[in-house]
């Protein structure tokens, strides 16, 4: 006979799982956290930028001992064609504040630290343990999990599914669907190591200041996609992500796209002479608001990437994960402290908290963006970048051609590529999806 061992089981030790486990353990709940990797972080991949505010809400003094790489003072957005980039560049000394707003991190190290915090708060963390199936009673209520370790079902009042974008438990139990190819991007990433002072010099940084580059354009060969370059203390995270549906349709190889990005004349000098020490791949939820599944039920809640909580427009994911993990934990703690059962009705408190927060408000704002980028991907990721590059070149090149003719050539190129009506409708649709 099995008995109830824990108040809550958290499946997964990523951002959302650690946030949930820590918050519940701090509030005195008996928490068991399961992680299939050798250590927390060994299966986790992210760019990675960490937004301080959402972690501060959970661990206010995290800056004392969390492994942080560089705090970001500069952001570059690049529109690229094959030989050029047209960029927007924001740098501010205001980001050199006492409590910086964003940092680059290395997930394997950061997650190990976060997991240590969970243990210190009293949570039980069991690594090298893959949860294989949810256990449910005859009414369908989730009552625990089966694992690949010998032994009975591990029982708890509630299971927090923090199992990531490719989580099997919730999908196998029919609580949500497996992500669709058009709703997930495959990102591949390399870690390029360079001496700290070389990185500082190349990007114009002092101390632990950091810089971020996000790039879109012909590098994704007409597919919805994005390249990125993040400076860490003594390495550069360099990656490229494209929608899985786009990759399957074009049969492009993800590492060929990444190689193309690396060899681009704007990127190559930034990583010259680096030593690559790891190659990673990971799916990113891109479906936005419309892809969010049912978030709670009898005996379960789902958080983070598993719940598709990712803001693709602003490239925010781990902060939504931490926020959702914390809110799920707060809802569970509250229900527990009132001595109430973990029913679907009571756990709807979690959804109510999410709805009130930036998480759902931001995702709702951009609910039409994913479909706009899908249907117009060739325009947005191929035609416009080429036109923008041509326009900038026309503007800058001095060769005796009168300026009025240059301007006419630029305008004509835009109209030829997209037509007056096409340009107007793209602008209107973009404005509507953004507002």
Partner 1 sequence: MKTAIAERIEDKLYQNRYLVDPGRPHIKVRPHQSPSPNLLALTRVCPANCYELNESGQVEITPDGCMECGTCRVLCEASGYIEWNYPRGGFGILFKFG
Residue 160 near residue 8, CB atoms below 8 Å: yes
Smaller CB distance to partner 1: residue 227 or 254?
A: 254
Q: Which stretch binds partner 1 (CB under 8 A): 250-258, 317-325, 339-347, 400-408?
A: 250-258
145 near partner 1, rule: CB under 8 A: no
How far from 391 is each of 18, 85, 221, 406, 410, CA to CA, in Å?
48, 12, 20, 9, 5
CB of 212 to partner 1, least distance (A): 17
User: Of residues 92, 96, 178, 419, which one binds partner 1 by CB under 8 A?
Assistant: 178
CB of 83 to partner 1, least distance (A): 7
Contact with partner 1 (CB under 8 A) among 20, 25, 30, 41? 41
Which letter, b or e, does each residue of 210-221 get, where b requires 16 or more Cβ atoms within 10 Å of its Cβ? bbbbbbbbbbbb
Pick the binder of partner 1 from 28, 92, 101, 180 (CB under 8 A): 180
Q: With CB under 8 A as the contact rule, which of the stretches 85-93, 201-209, 251-259, 312-320 interacts with partner 1?
A: 251-259
Minimum distance, C-beta of residue 175 to partner 1, in the bound complex (Å):
16
Interaction between residue 153 and partner 1 (CB under 8 A): no
If one asks whether residue 254 binds partner 1 (CB under 8 A), the answer comes out as yes
Helix (H, G, I), strand (E, B) or coil at 174: coil
Residue selected from 12, 17, 37, 144 as contacting partner 1 according to rule CB under 8 A: 37
Rounded distance between C-alpha atoms, residue 402 and residue 209, angstroms: 44
Q: How many angstroms separate the CA atoms of 116 and 125, rounded?
A: 9
Cα–Cα distances (Å) from 354 to 303, 321, 351, in that order, read 10, 11, 5
CA–CA separation, 162 vs 289, rounded Å? 18
Tell me whether residue 128 or residue 355 sits nearer to partner 1 (CB atom). 128
Does residue 45 touch partner 1 according to CB under 8 A? yes
Q: Which is nearer to partner 1, 267 or 353 (CB)?
A: 267
Q: Of residues 275-294, which lie at the interface with partner 1 (CB under 8 A)?
A: 276-283
CA distance 311 to 115: 25
CB of 244 to partner 1, least distance (A): 6
Query: Residue 325: how many CA atoms within 13 Å on its side-chain side?
Result: 36
If the CB atoms of residues 41 and 297 are measured against partner 1, the closer one turns out to be: 41
Pairing relationship of beta strands 71-80 and 124-126 according to DSSP bridges:
unpaired
- β-strand 154-161 against 300-302: which pairing, if any? parallel
Interaction pattern, residues 82-121, with partner 1; x per rule: CB under 8 A: xx----------------------xxxx-x----------
Would you count residue 252 as binding partner 1 (CB under 8 A)?
yes
Nearest-10 Cα torsion for 365, 367, 369, 371: -170
Of 210, 285, 275, 240, which is closest to residue 49 (Cα–Cα)? Answer: 210
Which positions lie near partner 1, rule CB under 8 A?
A: 36-38, 41-46, 48, 82-83, 106-109, 111, 127-130, 147-149, 165-166, 168, 178-181, 184, 186, 188, 190-191, 235, 244, 247-248, 251-256, 259-260, 263, 276-283
């Amino acid at each position: 006979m099995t008995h109830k061992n824990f108040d809550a089981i958290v499946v997964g030790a990523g951002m959302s799982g650690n946030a949930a486990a820590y918050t519940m353990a701090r509030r005195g709940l008996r928490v068991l956290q399961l992680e299939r990797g050798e250590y927390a972080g060994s299966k986790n991949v992210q760019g990675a930028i960490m937004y301080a505010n959402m972690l501060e809400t959970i661990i206010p003094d995290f800056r004392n001992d969390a492994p942080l790489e560089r705090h970001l003072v500069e952001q570059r957005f690049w529109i690229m064609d094959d030989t050029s980039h047209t960029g927007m560049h924001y740098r501010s000394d205001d980001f050199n504040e006492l409590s910086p707003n964003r940092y680059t991190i290395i997930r394997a190290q950061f997650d190990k630290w976060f997991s240590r915090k969970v243990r210190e708060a009293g949570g039980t963390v069991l690594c090298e343990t893959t949860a294989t199936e949810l256990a449910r009673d005859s009414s369908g209520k989730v009552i625990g999990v089966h694992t690949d370790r010998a032994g009975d079902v591990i029982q708890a009042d509630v299971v927090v599914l923090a199992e990531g974008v490719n989580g099997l438990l919730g999908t196998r139990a029919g609580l949500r669907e497996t992500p669709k190819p058009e709703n997930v991007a495959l990102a591949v990433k390399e870690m390029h190591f360079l001496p700290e002072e070389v990185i500082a010099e190349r990007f114009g940084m002092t101390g632990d200041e950091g810089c971020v580059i996000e790039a879109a354009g012909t590098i994704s060969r007409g597919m919805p996609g994005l390249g990125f370059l993040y400076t860490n203390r003594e390495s550069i995270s360099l990656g490229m992500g494209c929608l899985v549906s786009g990759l399957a349709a074009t049969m492009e190889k993800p590492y060929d796209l990444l190689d193309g990005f690396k060899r681009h004349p704007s990127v190559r000098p930034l990583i010259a002479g680096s030593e690559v020490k790891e190659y990673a791949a990971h799916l990113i939820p891109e479906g936005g608001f419309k892809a969010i599944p049912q978030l709670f039920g009898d005996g379960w809640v789902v958080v983070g990437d598993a719940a598709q909580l990712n803001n693709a427009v602003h490239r925010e994911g781990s902060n939504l994960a931490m926020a959702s993990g914390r809110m799920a934990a707060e809802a569970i703690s509250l229900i527990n402290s009132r001595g109430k059962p973990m029913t679907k009705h009571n756990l709807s408190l979690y959804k109510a908290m999410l709805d009130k927060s930036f998480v759902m408000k931001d995702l709702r704002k951009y609910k039409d963006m994913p479909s706009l980028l899908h249907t117009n991907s060739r325009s947005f990721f191929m035609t416009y970048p080429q036109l923008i590059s041509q326009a900038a070149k026309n503007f800058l090149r001095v060769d005796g051609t009168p300026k009025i003719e240059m301007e006419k050539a630029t305008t004509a190129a835009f109209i030829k590529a997209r037509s007056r009506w096409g340009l107007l409708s793209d602008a209107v649709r973009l404005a509507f999806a953004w507002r």
